[in-house]
């Protein structure tokens, strides 16, 4: 029985990991006052570029690296537009999400001559941490996972502590809390916003790579399927505080993993697919009843 | 801070003329389209294909006289979904849940049309009304979520949409669908519950007139009524609107209900048109929601411009399929171009900032 429960924990963690990376990206953006809803498209681009690079080089880690770099470049439109030119981040994000959906499908057709999904023979996925197998508890949970899974948790804790205790983290939070005040203290507000948005792009690249080379070894059209939006909702849920993200994201992972289990016993796929969205929204409403919104910095209403 | 003296060259009449021209309101949308077309050409060329052939195929495919009937029907759907996006956009909100509202409208229309008891004159209006009510109510949920619980409309519409899509898909497959069919779809509706034809056209029908009436109604409300004025005031400056006595919560509720209702009507029109049945996924696969959103953004939510910008995205949509057939360029290029247009539009602040900077200098 215990094995079964631990395998469920592993499934929850697996489902949650891409969302964890993406929500960390969203939370960082929220901390500097950029409402980043481009996570969905950036994750999709990351997933595609990871698979493409892994296919061409034969190395999954080259895929991850390419995803990180190319998604950071992909996020330039948002970074330049929102941080430097004060354009509306929502409109840019809507456009770049559509662009990502189109360009990944387009390139899949042009480069690989397939549509729908791309999983050539010999496509290298990320290696699992099999060497953990013997250890009790940790083994059953992590042995079947890629190293990116524990990295997500470590990264979130590290970033959370960095934001809390380091001078730069404090400045970064100040930028989102009160841009004018931060600026008058000599902090380069748009510089922080720019580089954080780029870093968020890189994180979405890892999220995409974990999705297409870790969770599965295939790229399918629109494979992020709303995970970027769940990540945005998770950021709202925790009011931009990264240390709480694992709670929110593991809840989503549980909904998805439970959905798979329920499908196994005959529940209709349509309803289990809808569950994560419905649950996310309900939890969002429930927390807002309990804790009314405190921070304005992550609402869509910009206060220039 | 005083403005630096202008260099001699900038005082040249031609340069001045150019500067005035750049400030014309048409420049930004047209410029966005031109840039998108150029970027599209680069992408096509980079893929080893010929941009000119591709674009020629788009145009000839969209304006082929044999299929113009179909193109016009798509234009009507995109105009409708552009309204869906434009109404909340006017007050600065984004309804990205058009897909869910669209399928709920289709569902309501299919359920009503499936009842053969209704007299022919009533079946279509009742079906459309039911679609508007159901989808409108669904869209309206997002307003209290925003005003009571602080969940932005853009997030709640996006989270609600897949739920509606999944529920409709479930109902189609297991409850109201044709029994024993491989594809989840309803039976064909009876003759009495089909959209009324316009002459002998096979795609375009009375639905076109309904959409045009909706656009006229939006234009009238937007330009001639207090509600339209309130929408635009809140869109321009929410705090000023609230201070001026606009009840933002009620306005959001109305805007989202109207937006959802229009989506429902579009869903009903598509469902009650050929092939006269509701098929799982058929309402969503053409991507009308985001084509409409792109058209609304390009028009800046202005009622008079929506029919024009919708033409552009209709050409992309219909012509994209033709381009795939004749020039072998994947149709996903349409999505790419839609995305580029929206991003370039958003980046127009570069021009705006320059404008306000000049004003400030004077």
What ipTM does this complex have?
Answer: 0.85
- Picking from B158, B343, B348, the nearest residue to A229 by CB comes out as B158
Judge whether A298 lies within some domain: no
As a whole number, mean pLDDT of residues A12-31 equals 89
Residue B40, token pair as written in the block? 């599209």
Which one is predicted more confidently, A270 or A277?
Answer: A277
Residue of A nearest to B170 (CA): A270
More confident residue, A263 or B79: B79
The model's confidence at residue B350, banded by pLDDT at 50, 70 and 90, is low
pTM: 0.87
In a domain, A4, yes or no: no
Residues 229 through 258 of chain A touching chain B, CB cutoff 8 Å: 229, 232-233, 236
Q: Do the chains contact at A274 and B166, CB–CB below 8 Å? A: yes
Q: Which residue on chain B is closest to A108 by alpha carbon?
A: B330
B33 — phi, psi (to 5°)? Answer: -65, -45
What per-residue confidence (pLDDT) applies to A300?
47
| Best A26, A45, A91, A97 residue to mutate vs chain B (most B CBs within 10 Å) | A91
Best A45, A87, A234, A275 member to test B by mutation, with max B CBs in 10 Å, is A87
SS3 call for B164: helix
Assign residue A120 a region: left if phi > 0, alpha if psi is -120 to 50, beta otherwise?
beta
- Under an 8 A CB cutoff, do B349 and A281 touch? no
> Looking at CA atoms only, how far is residue A132 from chain B in angstroms?
38
The pLDDT-based confidence of B302 (bands split at 50, 70, 90) is confident
- Extract the tokens encoding B19: 């500067």
Average pLDDT for B297-314: 89
Pick B170's closest partner by Cβ from A115, A268, A278. Answer: A268
How high is the pLDDT of residue A189?
Answer: 81
Confidence of residue B4 (pLDDT cuts 50, 70, 90): low
Q: Within a domain: residue A132?
A: no
The beta-carbon neighbor of A85 closest among B165, B341, B349 is: B349
Given this model, what pLDDT does residue A22 score? 93
C-alpha torsion A206→A209→A210→A213, nearest 10 = -160
Answer whether A96 touches B (CB < 8 Å).
yes
Structural domain includes residue A50: yes
Cβ-nearest to B353 among A77, A85, A273:
A85
Question: Is the pLDDT at B88 greater than 90, yes or no?
Answer: yes
Residue of higher predicted confidence among A259 and B10: A259
Which of A27-31, A194-198, A271-275 comes out lowest in average pLDDT? A271-275
Highest mean pLDDT among A142-146, A155-159, A277-281, B99-103: B99-103
Does residue B215 contact residue B78 with C-beta atoms inside 8 Å?
Answer: no
Go through B106-137 and write b for each residue having 16 or more CB atoms within 10 A of its CB, e for each that does not.
bbbbbbbbbeeebeeeebbebbbbbbbbbbbb
Q: Which of A85, A91, A280 is nearest residue B345 as measured by Cβ atoms? A: A91
Residue A205: inside a domain: yes
User: Which candidate, B107, B139, B168, places its Cα nearest to that of B263?
Assistant: B139
pLDDT in tens, A149-184: 888 889 999 988 888 888 888 888 888 778 888 888
Biggest CA pair distance of chain A: 61
Our CA-based measurement puts residue B328 at a distance from the nearest CA of chain A, in whole angstroms, of 10
Query: Is some CB atom of chain B closer than 8 A to the CB atom of A105?
Result: yes
Q: For residue B160, which residues of chain A lie inside 8 Å, CB to CB? A: 277, 281
- Cβ–Cβ gap B155/A81 under 8 Å: no
CB proximity A84 to B under 8 Å: no
In terms of phi and psi (left: phi > 0; alpha: psi -120 to 50; beta: otherwise), the region of A222 is: left
Give the pLDDT band of residue B354 (cuts 50, 70, 90). low
Output the six-digit token pair for B295: 């058209």
Whether A26 is covered by a domain: the verdict is: yes
Closest Cα partner for A252 from A271, A278, A270?
Answer: A278
Report the gap between the CA of A302 and the closest CA in chain B (Å).
Answer: 10
CB-closest option in A86, A99, A280 to B339: A99
With left for phi above 0 and alpha for psi between -120 and 50, is residue B98 left, alpha or beta?
A: alpha
How would residue B212 be classed by pLDDT, with cut points 50, 70 and 90? very high
Q: Count of domains in chain A?
A: 1
| Residue B349: pLDDT over 50 | yes
The Cα of A109 is separated from the nearest Cα of chain B by a number of Å equal to 7
pLDDT-wise least confident of A207-216, B140-149, B277-286: B277-286
Chain A residue numbers touching B294 (CB-CB < 8 A): 98
- Which structural domain range is residue A56 located in? 18-118+142-242
Mean pLDDT of B290-311: 89
pLDDT of B5 higher than 70: no
Task: Please write the tens of the pLDDT for every residue from A73-113.
Answer: 999 989 988 888 888 888 889 899 999 999 999 888 888 88
Residue range A49-74, pLDDT digits in tens: 999 998 998 888 998 999 999 999 99
Rounded to a whole number of angstroms, the distance from the CA of A91 to the nearest CA of chain B is 6
Mean model confidence pLDDT for chain B: 84
Q: What is the pLDDT of residue A296?
A: 39
**Contact criterion met (CB < 8 Å) for B342 and A285:** no
pLDDT band at B3 (very low <50, low <70, confident <90, very high): low
Flag whether pLDDT at B27 surpasses 60.
yes
Please check whether residue A11 lies inside any domain of the structure: no
Contact A274 B159 (CB under 8 A): no
> Is residue A77, in this structure, part of any structural domain at all?
yes
């Amino acid at each position: 029985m215990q094995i079964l429960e631990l395998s469920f924990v592993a499934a929850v963690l697996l489902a949650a990991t891409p969302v964890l990376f993406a929500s960390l990206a969203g939370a960082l953006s929220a901390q500097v006052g950029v409402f980043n809803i481009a996570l969905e498209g950036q994750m999709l681009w990351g997933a595609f570029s990871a698979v493409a690079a892994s296919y061409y080089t034969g190395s999954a880690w080259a895929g991850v690296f390419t995803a990180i770099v190319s998604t950071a470049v992909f996020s330039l439109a948002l970074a330049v537009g929102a941080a430097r030119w004060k354009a509306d981040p929502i409109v840019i994000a809507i456009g770049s999400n559509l662009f990502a959906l189109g360009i990944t499908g387009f390139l899949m057709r042009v480069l690989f001559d397939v549509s729908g999904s791309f999983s050539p023979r010999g496509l290298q996925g990320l290696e699992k941490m099999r060497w953990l197998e013997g250890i009790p508890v940790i083994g059953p949970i992590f042995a079947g996972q890629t190293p990116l899974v524990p990295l997500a948790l470590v990264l979130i804790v590290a970033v959370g502590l960095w934001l809390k205790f380091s001078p730069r983290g404090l400045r970064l939070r100040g930028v989102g809390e009160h841009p004018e005040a931060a600026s008058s203290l000599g902090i380069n507000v748009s510089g922080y916003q720019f580089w954080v948005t780029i870093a968020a792009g890189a994180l979405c690249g890892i999220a995409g790579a974990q999705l297409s080379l870790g969770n599965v070894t295939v790229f399918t059209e629109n494979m992020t399927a709303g995970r970027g939006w769940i990540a945005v909702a998770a950021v709202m849920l925790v009011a931009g505080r990264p240390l709480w993200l694992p709670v929110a994201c593991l809840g989503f992972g549980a909904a998805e993993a439970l959905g798979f289990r329920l499908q196994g016993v005959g529940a209709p796929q349509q309803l289990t697919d809808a569950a994560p969205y419905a649950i996310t929204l309900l939890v969002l409403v429930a927390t807002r009843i309990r804790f009314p919104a405190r921070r304005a910095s992550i609402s869509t209403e910009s206060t220039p | 801070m005083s403005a630096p003296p202008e260099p001699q060259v900038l005082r040249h009449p031609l340069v001045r003329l150019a500067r005035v021209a750049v400030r014309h309101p048409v420049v930004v949308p047209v410029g966005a389209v031109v840039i998108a077309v150029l970027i599209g050409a680069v992408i096509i060329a980079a893929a080893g294909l010929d941009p000119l052939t591709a674009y020629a195929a788009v145009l000839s495919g969209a304006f082929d006289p044999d299929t113009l009937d179909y193109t016009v029907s798509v234009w009507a759907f995109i105009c409708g979904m552009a309204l869906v996006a434009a109404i909340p956009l006017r007050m600065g909100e984004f309804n990205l849940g058009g897909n869910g509202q669209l399928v709920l409208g289709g569902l309501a229309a299919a359920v009503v049309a499936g009842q053969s008891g209704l007299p022919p004159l009533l079946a279509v209006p009742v079906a459309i009304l039911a679609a508007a009510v159901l989808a409108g109510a669904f869209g309206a949920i997002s307003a209290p979520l925003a005003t009571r619980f602080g969940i932005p409309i853009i997030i709640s519409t996006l989270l609600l949409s897949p739920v509606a899509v999944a529920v409709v898909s479930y109902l189609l497959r297991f409850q109201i669908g044709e029994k024993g069919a491989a594809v989840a779809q309803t039976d064909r509706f009876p003759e009495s519950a089909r959209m009324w034809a316009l002459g002998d056209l096979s795609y375009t029908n009375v639905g076109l007139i309904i959409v045009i009436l909706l656009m006229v109604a939006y234009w009238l409300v937007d330009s001639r009524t207090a509600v339209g004025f309130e929408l635009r005031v809140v869109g321009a400056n929410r705090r000023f609107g609230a201070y001026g006595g606009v009840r933002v919560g009620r306005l959001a509720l109305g805007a989202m209900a109207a937006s959802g209702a229009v989506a429902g009507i579009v869903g009903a029109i598509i469902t009650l048109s050929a092939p006269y049945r509701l098929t799982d996924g058929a309402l969503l696969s053409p991507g009308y929601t985001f084509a409409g959103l792109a058209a609304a953004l390009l028009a800046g939510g202005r009622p008079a411009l929506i029919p024009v910008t919708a033409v552009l995205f209709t050409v992309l949509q219909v012509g994209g399929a033709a381009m795939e057939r004749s020039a072998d360029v994947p149709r996903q290029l349409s999505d790419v171009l839609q995305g580029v247009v929206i991003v370039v539009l958003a980046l127009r602040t570069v021009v705006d900032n320059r404008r306000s900077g000049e004003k400030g200098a004077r």
